[in-house]
């Protein structure tokens, strides 16, 4: 064997079985989050819309898995330019058992699978804002078009080595801007375009029909989020461990912050408040989990719980019909988490990050985060509006008044969730 060839072989990337095992497990955990989201949302709608709401999440698991493999992965992680990937990976060409870009110690196909789970759950998030009134055909079209036209380029800009936000130094460990800010911004646009539910417009109370189902969904989300965040280290290493710890503490901090603040504000703590706070904390810590200390995560969680609670109260006062509070939890939580990453990040946790405001980094990291959040909001607003307009012209966005009164289970799917 030639010496030069031996050196080249030794320096080539090698598959690490421990890293591969962890990312395999993490991929399954992230996929499990989508049924968790379905139950979290499903318990909070009225019983006549339970199956329609569950279907919004489950249909994403089916159709977006295929779309990601055929073209989505290529648009997100193909070489391309600073805005979007190219078509070099269409049909998973060259995506196999060997390592690849962004995946030095795991099979490139596994990196594709892991990222595909984010592609699935992100647009499913905004379904909670438009529940109980969106046409299923319209939702399905928006789901696919939004995932390709909005999510894939944004993912490329933030996480691909060629992406301009990545090169600009914006920190987003597991999806603060890519997932939560983008989904909530889309939710805001769609809520505006769809209009209010009939009962909401009349000032009638619309109450959850099965909170225990939402509690179950929260438990699944909390469990799966360890794969979402710690799996984003793409290896079984110290950064993954830190992300695991900070994810749990961020969720706990926000759950307690929301609960105690609500107790003080309303006189009683609620189950809905606790689970909303927990999800808000998971959202807030997501962009920061691989960059902040455990104590920083608790602080971020406590801040996030209080801020997101007040955002939800403000939404109610403004009479915005965001059915399941996607804006207050994912929008405000995602933006807040991204900005606080610029405050609490430290290279003592992750040398690939940067020191935030509290660790001597000055205002520059915060400003980088503001640019990333602001750009995401503007980009997603414009593109979502265009997509929704096109879909409205094709099939109409909203069910008619009779179908809404009957419920989406019967009017859209010809079945009922409960038949006692």
Please report the pLDDT score of residue 101 as a whole number.
Answer: 87
pLDDT digits (tens, 9 = 90+) for 136-175: 999 999 999 999 999 999 999 999 999 999 999 999 999 9
What's residue 2's pLDDT? 35
Task: Please compute the mean of the pLDDT values over residues 334-342 and round it to a whole number.
Answer: 98
- pLDDT at residue 3, as a whole number: 37
Task: Note whether residue 417 is domain-resident.
Answer: no
Is 3 part of any domain?
no
Evaluate whether residue 5 is within a structural domain: no
Q: What's the pLDDT tens digit per position in 238-259? A: 999 999 999 999 999 999 999 9
pLDDT of 9 strictly over 80:
no
- Give the integer Cα–Cα distance in Å for 219 and 222: 5
Q: Judge whether 6 lies within some domain.
A: no
Please indicate, yes or no, if residue 10 is contained in any of the structural domains.
no
What mean pLDDT do residues 282-297 have? 98
Cβ distance 250 to 284 under 8 Å? yes
Does residue 1 have a pLDDT over 80? no
Tell me the pLDDT band of 12, cut-offs 50, 70 and 90. Answer: low
Count of structural domains, the chain: 1
Question: In b/e form, how buried is each residue of 350-365, taking b as 16+ CB within 10 angstroms?
Answer: beebbbbbbbebeeeb
CATH number for the domain spanning 68: value is 1.10.3430.10
Query: pLDDT at position 229, please?
Result: 98
Angle, helices 332-344 vs 364-394, to 10°: value is: 160
pLDDT of the residue at 147: 98
pLDDT tens per residue, range 346-378: 999 999 999 999 999 999 999 999 999 999 999
- CB distance 110 to 96 below 8 Å: no
* 334 vs 321: CA distance, rounded Å: 20
Q: Are 53 and 45 in contact (CB under 8 A)?
A: yes
Q: What is the mean pLDDT of residues 5-22?
A: 71
Q: pTM of the predicted model, to two decimals? A: 0.95
Of 13-17, 115-119, 261-265, 272-276, least confident by mean pLDDT is: 13-17
Q: Please give the pLDDT value at position 10.
A: 44
- What's the pLDDT band for 8 if we cut at 50, 70, 90? very low
Tokens of 318: 């403004």
416 domain-assigned: no
> Cβ of 223: how many Cβ atoms within 10 Å?
13
Domain span at residue 392 reads 15-398
Any domain includes 410: no
What is the average pLDDT value for the chain, to the nearest integer? 95
Mean pLDDT of 393-397: 98
% of residues, the chain, pLDDT over 90: 95
pLDDT at 315 over 50: yes
């Amino acid at each position: 064997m030639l010496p030069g060839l031996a050196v080249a072989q030794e320096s080539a990337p090698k598959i690490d079985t421990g890293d591969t095992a962890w990312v395999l497990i993490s991929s399954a955990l992230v996929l499990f989050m989508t049924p968790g989201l379905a139950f979290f949302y499903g318990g909070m709608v009225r019983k006549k819309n339970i199956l329609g709401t569950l279907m919004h999440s489950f249909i994403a698991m089916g159709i977006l898995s295929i779309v990601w493999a055929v073209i989505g992965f290529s648009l997100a992680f193909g070489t391309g330019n600073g805005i979007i990937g190219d078509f070099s990976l269409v049909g998973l060409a060259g995506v196999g058992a060997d390592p690849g870009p962004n995946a030095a110690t795991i099979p490139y196909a596994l990196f594709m699978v892991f990222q595909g789970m984010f592609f699935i759950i992100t647009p499913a998030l905004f379904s909670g804002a438009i529940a109980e009134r969106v046409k299923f055909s319209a939702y399905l079209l928006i789901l696919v078009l939004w995932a390709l036209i909005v999510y894939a380029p944004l993912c490329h800009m933030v996480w691909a080595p060629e992406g301009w936000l990545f090169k600009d130094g914006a920190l987003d460990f597991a999806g603060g801007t890519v997932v939560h800010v983008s989904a909530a911004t889309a939710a805001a646009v769609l809520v505006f375009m769809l209009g209010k539910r009939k009962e909401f417009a009349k000032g009638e109370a619309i109450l959850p029909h099965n909170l225990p189902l939402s509690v179950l969904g929260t438990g699944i989300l909390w469990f799966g989020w360890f794969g979402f965040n710690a799996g984003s280290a793409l290896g079984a290493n110290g950064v993954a461990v830190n992300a695991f710890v900070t994810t749990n503490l961020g969720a706990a901090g926000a759950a307690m912050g929301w609960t105690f603040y609500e107790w003080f504000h309303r006189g009683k703590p609620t189950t809905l408040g606790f689970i909303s706070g927990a999800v808000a904390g998971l959202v807030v810590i997501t962009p920061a989990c691989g960059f902040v200390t455990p104590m920083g995560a608790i602080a971020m969680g406590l801040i996030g719980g209080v801020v997101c609670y007040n955002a939800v109260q403000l939404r109610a006062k403004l009479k915005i019909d965001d059915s399941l509070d996607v804006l207050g939890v994912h929008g405000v939580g995602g933006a807040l988490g991204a900005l606080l990453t610029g405050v609490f990040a430290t290279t003592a946790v992750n040398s690939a990050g940067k020191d935030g405001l509290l660790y001597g980094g000055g205002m520059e990291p915060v400003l980088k985060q503001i640019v990333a959040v602001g750009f995401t909001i503007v980009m997603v607003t414009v593109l979502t509006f265009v997509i929704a307009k096109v879909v409205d012209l094709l099939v109409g966005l909203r069910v008619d008044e009779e179908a809404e009164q009957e419920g989406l289970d019967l009017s859209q799917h010809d079945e009922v969730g409960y038949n006692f």
